[in-house]
Amino acid sequence: MEHAHPFNRPFPWRTVALAASVVALGAGSVVALLNRPAGTRSEPGSQQIRQAPALPPLRPRSRISVLVLNGNGLSGAAGTTASKLLADGYRHAIPADASQLDYARSLVLFRRGWQREAERLGRDARIPTVTPLDGRVAPAYAHVPLIVILGAN
């Protein structure tokens, strides 16, 4: 019968501790990769659609003042359009004459921050051209957020 001989070498604790820490680090990495938030996973074929930041609601028509400028020279054109805008629910629609009366196309001008309301006004007035406010109107009207200039079309 054979007997076990005593092992004369000391037990390799350092090697065992190093191996255990490598295994623990590997397991922790696997857990971290599996528990990532859904938006950061890179699974093939599963692209997430990113939503744009929520836009503030449109200002109601009942709180919007519009300046309607006659730029085509036809008598009463600005007054007629202003009356239609008032009927659509706009708070104020002020008719006046533009500084020049030779506009070929009608357009809606808007101050910064009013683009969405200007686009809605363009749909209401059936005017497809909507552009930021520039030097076309007198400085006295610069406080008005939305301006309609009626052209010959």
The number of folded domains in the chain is 1
In a domain, 34, yes or no: no
Is 97 within a domain? Answer: yes
**Does some domain include residue 128?**
yes
- Identify the pLDDT of residue 21: 83
* 105 located within any domain: yes
Asked if residue 119 is part of any domain, the answer here is yes
pLDDT of residue 44: 58
In a domain? residue 79: yes
> Which residues in the chain land under pLDDT 70?
1-9, 11, 33, 36-48
Domain that holds residue 78: 61-150
The residues with which 94 forms a beta bridge, in sequence order, are 67
Residues 6+ apart with CB under 8 A from 133: 109, 110, 111, 112, 142, 147
pTM beyond 0.75: the answer is: no
Domain-located, residue 87: yes
pLDDT of residue 39: 56
CATH number at residue 117: 3.30.70.2390
Under 8 Å between Cβ of 108 and 68:
no
Is 137 within the bounds of a domain? yes
* Structure confidence at residue 1 (pLDDT): 61
